[in-house]
Chain A
Amino acid sequence: MGAIKRKAPAAIAAPLDAPPFKKILIANRGEIALRVILACKEMGIQTVAVYSEADRNALHVRFADEEVCIGPPPSSKSYLNIPQVIAAAEVTGAEAIHPGYGFLSENAHFVEVCLACGITFIGPSAEIIRKMGNKAQAKATMLEAGVPLMPGSDGLVETVEEALVVAEQIGYPVIVKASAGGGGRGMRICNNPEELPDLYNTARTEAKGAFGDDSVYMEKYLLEPRHIEVQIMGDLFGNVVHLGERECSIQRRHQKLIEESPSAVLTPELRQRICDTAVRAAKAVGYYNAGTIEFLLDKRGDFFFMEMNTRVQVEHPVTELVTGIDIVKEQLRIAAGQKLSFTQADVVQKGHAIECRINAEDPFKFTPSPGRITALHFPGGPGIRVDTAMHQDAVIPPHYDSMVAKLIAYGANRTEAIARMRRALDTLVIEGIKTTAPLHRRIMDHPDFVSGAFSTKWMETFMEELKRNPAGDPR
């Protein structure tokens, strides 16, 4: 076991701008840890990597200036172990901690511990995280700020008469859902008052049979909903700006597979309304640092607040490519108490970016495929960005998530971005494990994707189509 390692500094380079911090610790692993290290290298900030015993040979460990082993492979004993992470910051003298995404990034308690130990948390306050993390409280805050929420019943719907009244208020179609529910059971979609009584009763009977509990509630049923989210950034001086939207409707079981910016379906007016709403929502909680507000957009152009993510997102690169703003570097400046380096007027979406999440999974069955990468080649050329921590002979441990790379294609317009993504997928080589790259190629080829005609339910239909036509023969 090695001691805490400090690497010899490279030759002294002429200083660029004064860095916002001297040294920070990155409480994460994989590509996002590396992403933060890259930003720090550009800014002249020293970096401390923490790692579990499973990540001894990981690139974030290799490229950081210092490294501290904080525990055995299970996340609960290493990357989620607050005392170990804090102790690592203390012994290395790190001034701030970047949490990345996942792990401790939305843990309000961790933020409080950082504060108590005199370490800057690179993200919003514990209070904001708590407020937005609690669904009921987040909704109440959003309602107050005039942010549209998904219309629905106020709690349980006890009788047919009540159901009819609620449906009239929220507007058809509506969905009746079992409160104990899941997996589609005890769930009915109703299009008009004529069919509501029967469907309401069936839903309750089914809920009783499936869960032993026949209580139900109602919500508006969205036709072909799309997942649209808005990247926002705020500083400690009350400035909040948006960086435009991302469309993340291609998802499977609420796991995003493909994200793009801008969305293919937003009109300039609708974009303006959604982005303004997001800024209003962020201001309502006094938000600062990077955050994302997620909405569901229906066919008619109505959108509803889903949730807020109080951290950097996996899909932040698509926004970086179309706006030219480095979100991670901005996060570091904001945490150091600097003002936002740009105003709303400076933010212009130019071109189009698409990201494919390449996971170590069977491309069509989605079973995890951990193992050793025996051969690796990443595509390059104009408009391609690859965010990854993979390398030749890397072993993907079974302890963490399965994402191996984010492949991001940028083009002057959506057509060029798709064309670049196709050839990037064709020249991507990852051997030794299975990846979802072939699935992405099939999606990139699909007429629905090309035309932009998809919703959050599209993957379900596409999976059916794959079963019928597994070889991908021309339709």
Chain B
Amino acid sequence: MSTSRKPSAAVKKTVAPRPTAKTRTTPAASKPATPAVKAPAKASVQTIGLEEIKTLIALVGREPFQEFEFEAGDMRFRIRKDGPAPVIQAPVPAPIVMAAPVPQVHHLPAAPAAPQAAPAPVDEAGIHYVTSPIVGTFYRSSNPTATPFASPGDFVKPGQTLCIIEAMKLMNEIESDVAGEIVKVLVENGTPVEYGERLFAVRIG
């Protein structure tokens, strides 16, 4: 049987957790929820000028928002800060100076009804989910008596083995695709997992 696989490549398919400011055309529904503020389309504003945009950028810069989205009529733009997400619990001084590159303002056509998007890999700020690239049985350690590869509180690096998934008598090592702290192990040791199932929650950092 030629069934051996290198699972690490498959793991990497999950989306990078914190994209830099770039054009994203994903509908608002699928983006990170927490530190974003959405201004619903209101009133008679049809277009806004350069001055208003500058004011908004400055406003977003002062406020602890990570992302700002504005929609009016068929116009829509989004301001997004670069750099690490602010931790909400601990009050962080708002960055006064904008991180370079300057936040980009994108004019997007009014979004149609949001198509069904795959569940975002990041649920809350800075949390990334390592998902299973294969179907199999999940094991946290190399044998029943060994220490688990990764436990809550551990800091992991990309490429570090987090667990083993047994499929067709083969032990497939599943590696982390990010650096960060293990927050939670989402699957019981010795239970079956399917393709795309979330295994670990990792706080990026």
Interface residues of A, Cβ cutoff 8 Å to B: 1-4, 53, 68-72, 78, 82-84, 86-88, 90-92, 112-113, 116-117
Contact = CB atoms under 8 A, between A and B. Distances in A.
Interface string B179-205: 000000001000111111110000000
B192 A83 contact: no
Most B-side CB within 10 Å, residue of A3, A88, A112, A117: A3
Contacts of B119: 1
A69 B196 contact: yes
B195 A69 contact: yes
Interface in B126-171: 131, 134-137, 167-169
Given A87-B134, A90-B168, A91-B193, 19 more contacts: A1-B131, A1-B194, A3-B194, A4-B192, A4-B193, A53-B195, A69-B135, A69-B194, A70-B135, A83-B167, A83-B168, A84-B195, A87-B136, A87-B168, A88-B194, A90-B136, A91-B135, A112-B1, A116-B1
A86 B170 CA distance: 12
A83 B169 CA distance: 10
Most A-side CB within 10 Å, residue of B167, B168, B196: B168
Nearest to A66: B192
B1 A68 contact: no
Nearest to B5: A83
Chain A interface mostly: helix
A84 B3 contact: no
B48 interface: no
B97 interface: no
A91 B134 CA distance: 12
A60 to B, nearest CB: 15
Given A70-B135, A91-B135, A91-B136, A1 B168 contact: no
A113 B3 contact: yes
A4 B194 CA distance: 6
B168 A86 contact: yes
B134 A82 contact: no
Contacts of B5: 83
A87 B136 CA distance: 6
A70 B195 contact: yes
Nearest to B119: A1
B135 A68 contact: yes
A389 B118 CA distance: 23
Contacts of B194: 1-4, 68-70, 88
Contacts of A113: 1, 3, 168
A88 B135 contact: yes
Interface residues on B, range: 20 to 34
Nearest to A85: B135
A395 to B, nearest CB: 9
A68 to B, nearest CB: 5
Nearest to A82: B3
B1 A84 contact: no
Closest 7 CB pairs of A and B: A91-B192, A87-B167, A87-B135, A69-B194, A1-B196, A69-B195, A83-B3
A82 B3 CA distance: 8
Nearest to A1: B196
Contacts of A116: 1
A71 B193 contact: no
Most A-side CB within 10 Å, residue of B1, B187, B193, B195: B195
Contact of A91 (B3, B118, B137, B169): B137
A91 to B, nearest CB: 3
A2 B193 CA distance: 9
A1 B134 contact: no
Most A-side CB within 10 Å, residue of B5, B134, B198: B134
Nearest to A56: B116
A90 B166 CA distance: 10
Nearest to B137: A91
Nearest to B118: A53
Contacts of A112: 1
Most A-side CB within 10 Å, residue of B118, B193, B198: B193
Contacts of B196: 1, 53, 69
Contacts of A3: 187, 191-194, 197
8 contacts: A1-B119, A1-B131, A1-B196, A1-B197, A78-B195, A83-B3, A91-B137, A117-B168
A107 to B, nearest CB: 13
Contacts of A72: 195
Given A88-B135, A113-B3, A71 B195 contact: yes
Contacts of B193: 3-4, 91
Contacts of B191: 3
Nearest to B129: A1
A446 B135 CA distance: 51
Interface string B95-120: 00000000000000000000000110
Contacts of A91: 135-137, 192-193
Contacts of B198: 1
